[in-house]
Amino acid sequence: MPLGLIGKKLGHTRVYDASGVLHAVTVVLAGPNRVLQVKTQASKDGYNAVQLGFDDQKEHRVTKPLLGHIKKQNGAAVKRIREFRNFSKEVKPGDVVGPALFAPGDFVDAIGIVKGRGFEGVVKRHRFAGGDSTHGAKGWHRRSGAIGQRLFPGTVMRGMRMPGHMGQVQRTTQNLEVIQVREADNLLLIKGSMPGAEGDYVIIRESKKRPKGWKPAVGSQGKKKEPKTAADAKKK
The vertex-89 CA angle with 84 and 90, nearest 5°, equals 110
140 and 35 assigned to the same domain = no
**Cα–Cα distance between 212 and 210 in angstroms, integer?**
7
Q: Is 102 exposed, middle or buried (0-12, 13-18, 19+ CB in 10 A)?
A: buried
CATH number of the domain to which 129 belongs: 4.10.960.10
Q: Which domain holds residue 140?
A: 117-166
192 and 212 assigned to the same domain = yes
**Cα–Cα distance between 188 and 64 in angstroms, integer?**
33
206 and 176 assigned to the same domain = yes
211 and 125 assigned to the same domain = no
CB 110 within 8 A of CB 178: no
Phi, psi of 150 (to 5 degrees): 60, -105
CB 18 within 8 A of CB 178: no
53 and 142 assigned to the same domain = no
Report the amino acid identity of residue 232. Answer: D
121 and 109 assigned to the same domain = no
212 and 151 assigned to the same domain = no
**Cα–Cα distance between 208 and 98 in angstroms, integer?**
20
| Residue 24, helix vs strand vs coil | strand
Question: How many CB atoms are located within 10 Å of the residue 58 CB?
Answer: 8
CATH number of the domain to which 93 belongs: 2.40.30.10
149 and 69 assigned to the same domain = no
For the entire predicted model, the pTM comes to 0.79
pLDDT in tens, the chain (236 residues): 589 999 999 999 999 988 889 999 999 999 899 999 999 999 888 999 999 999 899 999 999 999 998 888 888 899 999 999 989 888 988 899 999 999 998 999 999 999 999 999 999 999 999 888 888 888 889 998 888 877 787 888 889 999 999 999 999 999 999 999 999 999 999 999 999 999 999 999 999 887 777 776 554 444 445 555 556 555 55
**Cα–Cα distance between 27 and 9 in angstroms, integer?**
6
Question: How many CB atoms are located within 10 Å of the residue 163 CB?
Answer: 16
Number of structural domains (the chain) is 2
Q: Alpha helices of the chain — where are they, by DSSP H?
A: 64-72, 122-126, 230-235
3-state secondary structure string, 101-149? Answer: HCCCCCEEEEEEECCCCEEECHHHHHCCCCCCCCCCCCCCCCCCCCCCC
CB 110 within 8 A of CB 176: yes
8 and 35 assigned to the same domain = yes
CB 23 within 8 A of CB 104: no
94 and 136 assigned to the same domain = no
216 and 138 assigned to the same domain = no
183 and 107 assigned to the same domain = yes
